Structure 1
């Protein structure tokens, strides 16, 4: 299976920006390969375009999230069981119960595939503008952070990302959650 995936990744790399956009779109709704595996090597090979690649990846991912939402709305929970194990579905439900639609933002920083969150957003009937806004923020933060690391570190970006990205994304995700909770607190205080 992994040999097939690597062959497919190599084939997509031949399409450059178009291949990156397509993978980003598909990964947000049904595809198993995360766009990072294309974006990072493309950015390292051409650091002047790293932020362009981050933009394309974000745009493709957000548009793919709309397809994921539609899949969730029309087919629902049974389709999730096709992609992932029940315990991950339960984890996503917990995120949605605890954080509401902001779980979409958190999804950009978790190891759970993004498509699970987009499909679940359709099941949960999250409003499309909410899905778009949180997807832009969450996915954009992830991909632009990777691009910034590539620009800053060049060839050393790949090992740095492999060793530290989980910690970095957890930190950024934690800051986003705290910021959101502060926003909710301030909004509630203004109503009183």
Structure 2
């Protein structure tokens, strides 16, 4: 199933309506969809490097607004919408574990790590933020920094280095982003240890 979704997303990059699809996938990825927006962003940026900043802005805007939608699903419609989505992806147990174990500070950290490196999955964190009633303005600003920052960084890399950067991004950026996320989590736990 995952391979079919990936192939479908790659075909979207070739269509004239690719920008609309980039927005839609970026939006739904933040709340309900499995395929990350980067899968569509990368081939679009390679195909038309002059529009890379435009693509980055479209993806960032879709992702930020999708995150707000995820927050609203968690806040207003957990039982009706969020729970079946999490069950569908097999993430309900992870969600319940996170919900019972996290503090507001840790949720804020997860907003950044999931926005940058999908650790934990972005849709889980956006819904969790709504369920835990994280302040919507604070949530929005965190999404702007994490998701907006990620797509602007990708746009800058393409604008600066062109399509040769694709191999680096596809092979190493998730590892680098994941390492940064792990470093943030370790820094948080160190902060907690020093605080007590």
Q: Output the TM-score relative to the length of structure 2.
A: 0.78
Q: Secondary structure at the match of 1:155?
A: coil
Per the alignment, residue 29 of structure 2 pairs with: 27
Query: 1:141, 1:44 → 2: CA distance?
Result: 20
The one of 83, 90, 95 equivalent to 1:84 is 90
Q: More displaced, 87-96 or 73-82?
A: 87-96
Change (3 A) 1:4 1:28: closer
Size of the alignment, in residue pairs?
A: 185
CA shift for structure 1 position 18: 1.3
RMSD: 3.1
Unaligned ranges ≥5, structure 2: 190-196
Contact 2:30 2:67 in 1 (8 A): yes
Contact 2:110 2:120 in 1 (8 A): no
1:60-89, CA deviations, whole angstroms, 9 ceiling, x for partnerless residues?
Answer: 111111111111123326242333335642
Unaligned ranges ≥5, structure 1: 182-192
Per the alignment, residue 189 of structure 1 pairs with: none
Query: 1:179, 1:112 → 2: CA distance?
Result: 16
Query: 1:95, 1:60 → 2: CA distance?
Result: 30
CA shift for structure 1 position 152: 2.8
The one of 87, 101, 107 equivalent to 1:100 is 107
Q: More displaced, 67-76 or 79-88?
A: 79-88
Contact 1:25 1:60 in 2 (8 A): yes
CA shift for structure 1 position 9: 4.2
Contact 2:83 2:92 in 1 (8 A): no
Change (3 A) 1:65 1:4: closer
The one of 31, 38, 44 equivalent to 2:40 is 38
Per the alignment, residue 130 of structure 1 pairs with: 138
The one of 145, 158, 161 equivalent to 1:153 is 161
Q: Output the TM-score relative to the length of structure 1.
A: 0.79
CA shift for structure 1 position 174: 6.1
The one of 141, 153, 157 equivalent to 2:149 is 141
Per the alignment, residue 110 of structure 1 pairs with: 118
Change (3 A) 1:140 1:172: farther
